[in-house]
Amino acid sequence: MPQTTVLLPTYNCAKYILETVKSVLNQFYSNYELLIIDDGSTDNTEEILKAIGDERIVYLKNPTNFGIVKTLNIGIKLAKGKYIARMDADDVMLGNRLQEQIDFLESNPDYGMVGSWYQIMDVDGKIRNTLKTTSNHEDIKLGLLFGNQFAHPTVTMRTDLVRKLKYKQEFLYTEDYDLWCRIAEVSKVANLPRIHLSYRWYANNSCNRNQKKLKANVVKLLSRELDKYEIEHCTEELMLHAAICFSYGKRFFNNDKRLSELNKWLDRVFAAPKVKALHNHFGLIKCRHQIIAKIYL
């Protein structure tokens, strides 16, 4: 029985799938199954994968295109590993990711999930940026009130935990952010300060193609999270909060009126009784400074 399931859904990613799979198979850690669920691809993905011939690969194909949420939940149900490591079909796994993340979870039973830093590459594989995500649990949990703190394909989770929670269709295109919020409510979470992924960002990837639906679902999610902290908010305040999440910066906060509204809103958020009760004073100050700093980038 493998210790870990690397869960890799794919849909018409024949252009990148071989590079992605090789980056997983080249990991030093080898106690895993690579569960690839093809969501009804119409390109030659199946041909490419069947030619690899590695016994760790488990290849399944949906009879039709089910969509990412249903496909991920199928993978969670079928996973044989104690841990599920997520991977996307157009990215590249780096370093000693699997060993380091599994070691972390084995040594820290109170943590349900761990992610990592990552770099962004373009369609041709050229590195464009490196993102060093927040590392410790307390900062991440507070940060989730303002935006996603993990890159989905860097995350490794405890299978028994994610089977209870699952991905939700109502948060399609931000199903990962929703799941992290719910995991962080019941266990600790972390990001390792290691670059474990090259994330491919290009015009035709799923997030770019579905920006309108993605943003609508993020706004719905942010409203839910504010409700959990019992922070009342009108539509205008929610839009201010979403602008922080989407890192609109000076494009949105481009005049004194909006900057004043932002500061008043942050005053309310950080003074909310539940926020102050659940997070330490210095963490709140640091989080606010980080938000303001991003506005002026």
* Per-residue pLDDT tens over the stretch 111-146: 999 999 999 999 888 999 999 999 999 999 999 999
Share of the chain above pLDDT 90, in %: 89
User: Per the domain annotation, does 111 fall within a domain?
Assistant: yes
- Establish if 56 belongs to a structural domain: yes
Same-domain check for residues 87 and 54:
yes
Give whole-number Cα distances, 30 to 6, 79, 98, in Å.
Answer: 11, 16, 9
Average pLDDT of the residues in 67-78: 98
**Are 135 and 168 contained in the same domain?**
yes
The answer as to whether 11 is a domain residue is yes
The vertex-82 CA angle with 171 and 57, nearest 5°, equals 85
**Would 219 be classed as within a structural domain?**
no
Same domain for 174 and 39, yes or no, is yes
* The pLDDT of residue 207: 67
Q: Using 50, 70 and 90 to split pLDDT, how confident is the model at 210?
A: confident
* Total domain count, the chain: 2
Do 47 and 145 share a structural domain?
A: yes
* Mean pLDDT for the chain overall: 95
Q: What is the dihedral of CA 16, 22, 23, 28, to 10 degrees?
A: 170
Residue 131: count of CB within 10 angstroms of its CB: 13
pLDDT at 209: 73
In-domain check, residue 291: yes
Q: Residue 294: its pLDDT value, please?
A: 84
On whether both 20 and 105 belong to a single domain, the answer is: yes
Which domain range does residue 187 map to? 4-207
156 and 73 within one domain:
yes
* CA–CA distance, 208 with 34 (Å, rounded to integer): 27
Tokens of 108: 């820290």
User: 21-58: per-residue pLDDT in tens?
Assistant: 999 999 999 999 999 999 999 999 999 999 998 999 99
Q: How many CA atoms lie within 13 A of 82 on its CB side?
A: 12
Would you say residue 249 has pLDDT above 90?
no
Residue 213 covered by a domain:
no
Domain annotation covers residue 39: yes
Q: What is the CATH number of the domain that holds 42?
A: 3.90.550.10
Kindly state whether residues 199 and 86 are assigned to the same domain: yes
* 240/184 same-domain check: no
Tokens of 53: 């011939």
Q: Same structural domain for residues 82 and 113? A: yes
Residue 164 shares a structural domain with residue 276: no
Q: Are residues 124 and 52 in the same domain?
A: yes
Q: Residue 138: which residues within 8 A CB-CB, separation 6 or more?
A: 279, 280, 283
Q: Is residue 54 part of a domain?
A: yes
**Domain shared by 143 and 235, yes or no:** no
Whole-angstrom distance, CA of residue 28 vs CA of residue 202: 29
Structural domain ending residue among the three candidates 162, 177, 207: 207
Helices (H), the chain: 14-25, 45-50, 68-78, 97-107, 137-143, 159-165, 175-186, 206-209, 211-228, 235-245, 256-271, 273-278, 281-295
